[in-house]
Every structure is written in structure tokens, then in C-alpha cells.
Structure 1
Amino acid sequence: MSEHITYVANGGQTYQPCQDNVKVPFASYEKPAKPNPLLPELELNQDAIDKGYVLPSQKQHFLPGVTSEMMDWFWANMEKGYYLWAPGSHKKFTWVKTPVEYGMEASVHMISEACEPGAAVFGGEGVEIHRLALKEFFPFTTCLKHVICEGVYNDLGELVDSTVHMWEDVEGGCVHITATVQNSKVSAPPAFIIDILKKDPNAKIVPNFLTEHEDFEASQWPVFLPKLYDLWKNHPDPSQNVQCCLEVEKTAEGWRYIKENGPVVL
């Protein structure tokens, strides 16, 4: 790609100051169904345990009408659907390092979101969410066929926590897991938490996994993603309609993507 990208990958998002829209009501939703039968529970591998990682939450979902191909596409094109993913809750989105220029595993986006109307916005004015390379991070002993690991760092460069999404096709849709992994040995919280507590020392910081937020997000993929994917599927410019495959395989060195998913070459 050229060093001077003219296309701004924000999908028309306004990125307005989050304090101006914190009281917006959330869209109503029904909790997503669970896989039938339930998937085996995830377990941390020994390397993750040795690093001090803990697994406080894992949630399973069945996503009717959604395919793994659609989910792979979503993560490379989040700007097109971030506000639809949790309507009213998601406040801001922008790419810091786009998959177009940096490839999927090196991409970074910035978000703000609320877990309930009027509550303090998670991420403040914006928290960077980094993709985590599987060979360096993947914390589990097992995996579904597709996966993405994302994490937040503090100003010391320590990984504070990670959200791992994994999914695979089944009859009628796909099954999905959202798992939260926290670093029990971290020295300091991320900058946005420090900023929130500076402004209000009594602010109640509630992690997303302790709310219904992850179920809210999962409930919306079947609502918007098949339609959005269909609208974009024949768009010819891969720098605007980014293609990627997040299918993984296990090797002697650990889990790896079967495709490179590097920067877009026109």
C-alpha cells in the first residue's frame, strides 16, 4: 500500500465526544441462545498459568444465520458495523492501525462503550484494543476453528487483559465463545482507568464481562451481519472491503492462522 492512504476507514462514524451521548437508550434485545449441546469449557494452558493469567469469564452463544466467513470479515471491517454491534452502547470507533496497512495481527482499534445508559463509559475518551499474535499469547488448551485475541495494555507495556473470541460453523449458523483473560501480575491499570479515577475517585469500574454487554453484542450479529456482509461481498476494492481468514490450526509451536492476513497489496 501507499504510505499516503486517502481512504479513511471509519465507515462514516462520527466519533463524537462520548459524554454527549451517554444517556442514549440501548436497543432492546433478546439474550442469544446457547449451543446445543454446550461446548467444552475452555481451560488455560500451562504457559498462561505461569504468566499469572486467570480466566474470570467465558460465555457461549449460538448465532443463527451467521457463518464463520462473515465473522472473519467482520473483524477486518469493524468500522462498517461497530455501532450496529451494540446499538446505543457503542460510543466510538476508529482504527489506529488498519488491517489494510498493517495486516490483521498487527492492527489496533480505539473504542469507547457503555455497559448501561448513563454509566461511566468504558474506555473513557478512547482505549486502544490491540490484536494479539497467537504464537505469543494464545492462552487455552483448545480452540474452535476460528479465533481472534485482543488486548489492552497499560503505560508500562504490560498486557492488562484480553478478550478472546472464537467461533465455528454448525448447522444453521455458528457457535461462538467470548472469553476474558486477566493478568494477575500486572503492575498498574490501563491509562483510561487511571483517568476515570482521577476525575472521580468514587467511580465504579465494572468490567464488561460482569454485565450483559457480551450477550448484547452476540445477540446483534445475527441481526445485522448477514445483511451487511451481503451488501459488501461484491465490492471490488480490497483496501475498502478487507478480506481475511481467521481459521487456525495447531502446530508443534502452538496455534497459527492458516492464512497470512497481511497488509493489502493492490
Structure 2
Amino acid sequence: MQYSISQDQNGTHLDWQHKNVSPEMIDWFWSNMEKGFLLWHPEEHEPLQWVIPPKHGNLIGAVHIAPQTWSDGKRQNLYIRFEDFNSVPDAIKQYIEYDHCIIVAGLGFGEGSLHVKEPLGYRIHQWQSDVQNSNSVGVIGKSNAFGWKKSENHEQGMIWAKHAGTEISNWGLFLPQLFDLYKVVKNTKYNPFMDLSVKRIDGVLQYKTAN
């Protein structure tokens, strides 16, 4: 995988590309993170827990705890929620440019954070088919990190980018195989899926119907 890092006054941005991963695989991953979270970053991740698990066809509102220790030595144990586009500030949504997208909010630490009105920060992950790739499978994407209630400086953004770059790189090592293995699990309670492709209606972002 190839990726590059940039920053602006609002946040840190990671542009990336995969040759052996499809948009559908990444869609599936977000509803099934517990199945591959240790594989996503073996050096820094601990097992993931769903506080509010995703439903088949509806990932929005799901909350997970994703314990991890980044390269600065600080352990993160944040409550993270998948957001409805309508609840996200325009200053964040303006960065969406690809066909598939999720936005997550870092809520805080402990169960009380489930009820916060203003998250600490936001992350966007977005992707689409790589039409420039001659192979039948390939994606281009971007991941964006924004401080909100809690600002993030240049150094903090670069620490996140290093961690996220490894995560996204590792998709190419395990996601195609894991996605294929779970095709045998037809019970959507244990193998949910949401189509994360987006559309704009009168300028408003919406998700398309889940498969």
C-alpha cells in the first residue's frame, strides 16, 4: 500500500491506495471490527469491545471501545461512535470526497461519555474504486483526523497518522482473506453488513440502502 500525509489548519490527512482490497471489503470491516482488530495493528491494539453493537444494515450509533497504545506510549481507551452525517458539523463534512465514507466521533472515557453533546474529535475514513488501477480489485482512499472539543497539534496529528497508516496498510495483509472466510456466516446477527456508499440529495449527504 502507498500513502502520504498532509496537514492543514483543521487537521491531519492521509491519502492511501490499495491494489488487492475492494470497497465492499472495507464496508464490511466497519461492522465487523472485532473480527480483525488485533490484525489491524498487532503491535498497538488490544481486543475491541462493542458497547452498542452494529445492526445489520445500520452501523450508525454503534459504539466501540478500542484500547490501544500509540508510539508516544500513551494508552488510548476511547469510546468511539459511528455518526449520522446530519449530526456532524459542516466544517468536518466538507472533507468528504469519495464514494464510500464513515465518520466516527471520539466521545471520551467511561460510560458517561455516551451522553456527551460535543465529542473530543472526529475521524473520517473514505474510499472508492480505483479506476486508474488495471486490476479488477483496488481502492483509493483518505483518512482525516480533526480535533474538536480537544484540539490536536501538529505532533499529535503526526502520531495519529503513523498509527493510522499502519492500520490501513495492514488491510492489504488480512482483509481479503477475512472477508472471504466470513462469507460462510449467513446469520447477520454475527456477520452484519452496511453498504457505506453515499449520495447527495439537494446537497445533503445520505447513505444508500444497505445490501
TM-score (norm 1): 0.65
CA spacing shift, 1:119–1:42, aligned 2, 3 Å:
closer
The amino acid across from 2:199 in the alignment is E
- Gap runs ≥5 in structure 2: none
1:79 alignment counterpart = 34
Q: Distance in 1 between matches of 2:44 and 2:125?
A: 19
- Deviation of 1:247 after TM superposition, in Å, equals 0.2
Q: Cα deviation per residue 1:55-77 (whole Å; 9 max; x = unaligned)? A: 22001111120000000000000
Residues 146 and 73 of structure 1, relative CA distance in 2, 3 Å threshold: same
Provide runs of 4+ in structure 1 moved above 2 Å. 100-103, 153-157, 206-211
CA drift of 1:214 comes to 1.1
- The structure-2 alpha-carbon separation of the partners of 1:101 and 1:95, relative to structure 1 and needing over 3 Å to count, comes to farther
Give the direction of change, closer, same or farther, for the CA distance of 1:254–1:105 in structure 2 (3 Å limit).
Answer: same
Q: Distance in 2 between matches of 1:83 and 1:127?
A: 16
1:141 is displaced (CA, Å) by: 5.3
CA positional deviation for 1:159: 1.7
The offset of 1:255, in angstroms, is 0.8
SS, match of residue 99 in structure 1: coil
C-alpha deviation, 1:101, in angstroms: 7.7
Q: State which of 58, 78, 81 in structure 2 corresponds to 1:127.
A: 78
How far residue 153 of structure 1 moved from its aligned partner, in angstroms, is: 2.4
- Per the TM alignment, residue 233 of structure 1 is displaced from its structure 2 partner at its CA by 1.4
Counterpart check, 1:178 vs 2:143: yes
What residue ranges of structure 1 are gaps of 5+ in the alignment? Answer: 1-31, 36-40, 44-53, 190-205, 262-266
Specify the SS of the correspondent of 1:90: coil
Contact 1:134 1:149 in 2 (8 A): yes
Going from structure 1 to structure 2, the CA distance change for 1:260 and 1:231 (only over 3 Å counts) comes to: closer
CA deviation string 1:133-167 (max 9, x = no partner)? 11221521542000000011255531220110000
- Letter of the 2:94 counterpart: F
Aligned residue in 1 for 2:2: 33
SS in 1 for 2:55: helix
Of the three residues 213, 230, 236, the one matched with 2:186 is 236
Percent pairwise identity = 23
- The aligned counterpart of 1:92 is 47
* Cα distance between partner residues in 1 of 2:187 and 2:21: 23
- The 8 Å contact of residues 42 and 141 in structure 1, kept in 2 or not, is answered as no
Label 1:99 to 1:142 Cα distance change in 2 as closer, same or farther (>3 A): closer
1:115 equivalent to 2:70? Answer yes
Report the counterpart of residue 210 of structure 1 in structure 2.
159
Does 97-106 or 140-149 show the bigger shift? Answer: 97-106
For the 8 Å contact 1:180–1:209, the answer to whether it is kept is: no
Q: CA RMSD in A?
A: 2.7
Name the CA distance, whole Å, in 2 between partners of 1:142 and 1:214: 18
The CA deviation string for residues 25-65 of structure 1, in whole angstroms up to 9 with x for no partner, is xxxxxxx3149xxxxx999xxxxxxxxxx622001111120
Contact 2:58–2:194 (CA<8 Å) still a contact in 1? no
CA distance in 1, matches of 2:119, 2:195: 25
Matching residue's letter, 1:210: I
